[in-house]
Amino acid sequence: MSREQVAKDYEEYKEKGRIWGQVPPERITKIKFPRADAATIKRYLALPDMTTTVSDLLDSYGIRGVVAASYIKPLIAGKRIAGTAVTLRSMPERKTPTQGSIDKDPIKMSTREIYYLSEPGDVLVADFGGNLDVSNMGGQSALVGKTVGFAGAIVNGAVRDVPAIREVDFPVWSAGVTPITGKFRMEATEINGPVRLHDIVVYPGDLIVADDSGICVVPADRIASLIDEAESIGGAEDKMRELIVSKAPISELRPLFRKRYD
């Protein structure tokens, strides 16, 4: 996307009152880009073993796009989300927090900027290199996210205000949990560039699919085809479940089992 286009989009959003203004415009790599439509997202959310099914299909495409909840965990158990990724990459600040607060440095971290730049249904993917001590977002950020209609947030780092996030009921997956603010400790380096989640990459416009097992990242150009394939598997799975519960003999189960992976 050309820098000219982003500059134009930025001006448009500014006029519409959608620019918070904490992140300098040159750190915003993309503003407008295609999103998965609501109908497609609904189909994803209807998959019975959502991340399992998506992960298996990414495997079959030779794509590395899954992060285990062993590393990035749900804050609220039982949540299931699907939505378009918008991304925020942060870097450590150079000054110590004490020095920064003495010098009255401006705050350079911000999830707010990205919320207002995005669309309802989006998923915030924030990357601070897996750091477990410093918060990337707190209760107020979650409240804004919820209010503007975000589906949730995936944080390769830590978050704070866990009780408030739970109260707002905003689905968050994070590597850690902390009371320590990111203010004076991190700065927003790029909005809507590529970011890292544990050991995979996320681009803005990818589809994020997450539940208690972990997070799948579907590349934008696979979103449509993957769900088609996923739905075609469902029938066999349901049949298998029924047979298992009815204590069908192995001879009946085995042929079905094979079908799935050929």
What CA–CA distances, in Å, run from 15 to 9, 10, 19, 38, 226? 10, 9, 8, 27, 38
Closest distance of CB 42 from a second copy, Å: 18
Which of the 8 DSSP states describes residue 149? Answer: T
Smallest separation, CB 3 to a second copy (Å):
6
Burial string for 192-220 (b: 16+ CB within 10 Å, else e) reads bbebbbbebebbbbbbbbbbebbbbbbbb
Q: Among residues 21 and 34, whose Cβ is nearest to a second copy?
A: 21
In the complex with a second copy, which residue's Cβ is closer, 178 or 192? 178
> Closest Cα partner for 237 from 202, 261, 210?
261
Of 20 and 224, CB closest to a second copy: 20
Minimum distance of a second copy from residue 11's CB (angstroms): 15
- Give me the amino acid identity at 231: E
Q: 159 and 170 in contact (C-beta within 8 Å)?
A: no
CB of residue 1 to a second copy, shortest distance in Å: 10
Between residues 39 and 250, which has the closer beta carbon with respect to a second copy? Answer: 250
Residue 251 tokens read as 């001879």
Q: How far is the CB of 207 from a second copy (least distance, A)?
A: 13
Cβ closer to a second copy: 96 or 225?
96
**CA–CA dist 122, 108 (Å, integer):** 23
CB atoms within 10 A of CB 231: 14
Closer CB to a second copy, residue 34 or residue 92?
92
CB atoms within 10 A of CB 1: 13
> How far apart, in whole angstroms, are the C-alpha atoms of residue 76 and residue 162?
9
User: Which among 101, 115, 86, 114 is positioned nearest to 185, based on CA atoms?
Assistant: 101
Q: How far is the CB of 103 from a second copy (least distance, A)?
A: 8
Residues 170 and 123 sit within 8 Å (Cβ to Cβ): no
Closest approach of Cβ 195 to a second copy, in Å? 8
Q: In the block, which residue shows the tokens 């189909």?
A: 43
CB of 38 or CB of 132, closer to a second copy? 132
For a second copy, which is the closer residue by CB, 43 or 73?
73
Cα–Cα distance, 176 to 160 (Å, whole number): 9
Min dist. Cβ of residue 135 to a second copy (A): 8
